[in-house]
Structure 1
Amino acid sequence: MNQAPRQRMTHQARRQQLLTVAWDLIRQEGTDALTLGRVAEEAGVSKPVVYDHFSTRHGLLAALYEDFDIRQNALFDAAMAAAGDRLQDKAAVVAASYVNCVLTQGREIPDVLSALDSTPELAEVKRQYQLDFIEKFRGWFAAFVAPSGIPLATMWGLLGAADAISSAVICGDISQQEGLQELTALIITTIERSR
């Protein structure tokens, strides 16, 4: 019986496979179990394949956060494009998108975020993605605020609150509905303070 020759994965397809394996590993065992060797073992590939894609554990953590951020941004952009024009509509869409993105990824994203804070280099990666989100947020609500915009300190406070609320929903400390209502109210209050 002739077997069909195995086809090599493209570089991008292999990278996505390795990221999926890494997310599964974090989901099952947490970030402490995340090593390049372990990802290779779980993916059924040699260590050099994983090192070729990520070089270091830090590189893998940064890639995981980038993977999450790309998916999150696509969902946000689609939701905001479909949102109504009223402040309340936009605030509700941002709140729902934020909480739902974190819920979709589950407890893995808080673990990755915590690991990102473990070194200055990784903390800077996280900070850059946060700054990108802040700029998007400012753009979404520019029509509702003074020309000076939403102060950066206010945005950092709102981002921290959004992360804390999302974490509380994941842990079951508050319901998803409670989280959505509170985050929507905080967004509206933030915008109204910036008028």
Structure 2
Amino acid sequence: MSTMPESTSTAGKRVRLSREQRQRQLLDVAWRLAREEGTDALTLPRMAEEAGVTKPLIYDHFSTRNGLLTALYQDFDARQTAVIDAAIEAREPTLEGTARVIATSYIECVLSQGREIPGILAGLAGSPELEAVKRDYQLVFIEKCRNALASFTRPKGILQPSFWAMLGAADALAHAAATGEITVEQAQSELYEIIVAMVGRRPSA
């Protein structure tokens, strides 16, 4: 399959996109399609039709539907990481300020994709690709939180099981907020309390 970028039309002119630009365009089309019609609409032939490109080009970028869904999850996580990094960098350097920033930015990032992310995760359920990608991002997020909270913890620090419990709670709260079971403010407040309590908890020997 050819890896040469295709051209696109802008104001009557043909513009050749780089591979990275084409990937960005295709992901934007996929997000719009998922938002408007749900993730069931995310098939590679439908993507080619919506993006106005050939089927070989779509297959060259994503290979399979799972490849497309995995790329969308990676795109979401990359943007989530950038938002959280910026928020942590600008935070008030206290436990309360750090916990508030982590809680607020995490919930906001998940909600920014509305119903698309749950649909993508459901579509990739049991997928080895997703499991590997998701675990890598989870470990990066845990390490980010560990570093941000390190100056407020006891000498032994926060144990790994506590971070996994926090992450599970964060995902559950974000999902509840996305479905309207609780408000965004309630989700953020509860996650904030969980983080503060986690830091204050005395690690077992």
TM-score range, shorter chain: over 0.9
| 2:140 is the alignment partner of 1:145 | no
How do residues 105-144 of structure 1 correspond to structure 2 at under 5 angstroms? 105-144=113-152
Q: Distance in 2 between matches of 1:65 and 1:148?
A: 34
1:109 partner letter? I
Q: Confirm or deny: 8 A CA contact 1:106 1:170 kept in the other structure.
A: yes
| 2:97 is the alignment partner of 1:89 | yes
Which residue is 1:77 aligned to? Answer: 85
Residue 5 of structure 1, CA deviation: 3.9
Q: Distance in 2 between matches of 1:5 and 1:177?
A: 47
Residue 30 of structure 1, CA deviation: 2.0
* Corresponding residue SS for 1:6: strand
Give identity over the alignment, percent. Answer: 52
How do residues 29-68 of structure 1 correspond to structure 2 at under 5 angstroms? 29-68=37-76
Which residue is 2:3 aligned to? Answer: none
Which residue is 1:180 aligned to? Answer: 188
| 2:148 is the alignment partner of 1:156 | no
Which residue is 1:16 aligned to? Answer: 24
Q: Confirm or deny: 8 A CA contact 1:21 1:43 kept in the other structure.
A: yes
RMSD: 1.6
Structure-2-length-normalised TM-score: 0.88
Q: Distance in 1 between matches of 2:69 and 2:165?
A: 25
* Corresponding residue SS for 2:112: helix
Runs of 4+ in 1 over 6 A off after TM superposition: none
Q: Confirm or deny: 8 A CA contact 1:145 1:194 kept in the other structure.
A: no
What number of residue pairs does the alignment pair up?
A: 193
Q: Confirm or deny: 8 A CA contact 1:145 1:192 kept in the other structure.
A: yes
Q: Confirm or deny: 8 A CA contact 1:116 1:126 kept in the other structure.
A: no
Q: Distance in 2 between matches of 1:140 and 1:185?
A: 16
Q: Confirm or deny: 8 A CA contact 1:62 1:122 kept in the other structure.
A: yes
Q: Distance in 2 between matches of 1:95 and 1:13?
A: 32
Residue 29 of structure 1, CA deviation: 2.2
Q: Confirm or deny: 8 A CA contact 2:70 2:129 kept in the other structure.
A: no
- More displaced, 147-156 or 174-183? 147-156
* Corresponding residue SS for 1:172: coil
List runs of 5+ in structure 1 lacking aligned partners. none
Q: Distance in 1 between matches of 2:195 and 2:125?
A: 26
List runs of 5+ in structure 2 lacking aligned partners. 1-10
Which residue is 1:192 aligned to? Answer: 200
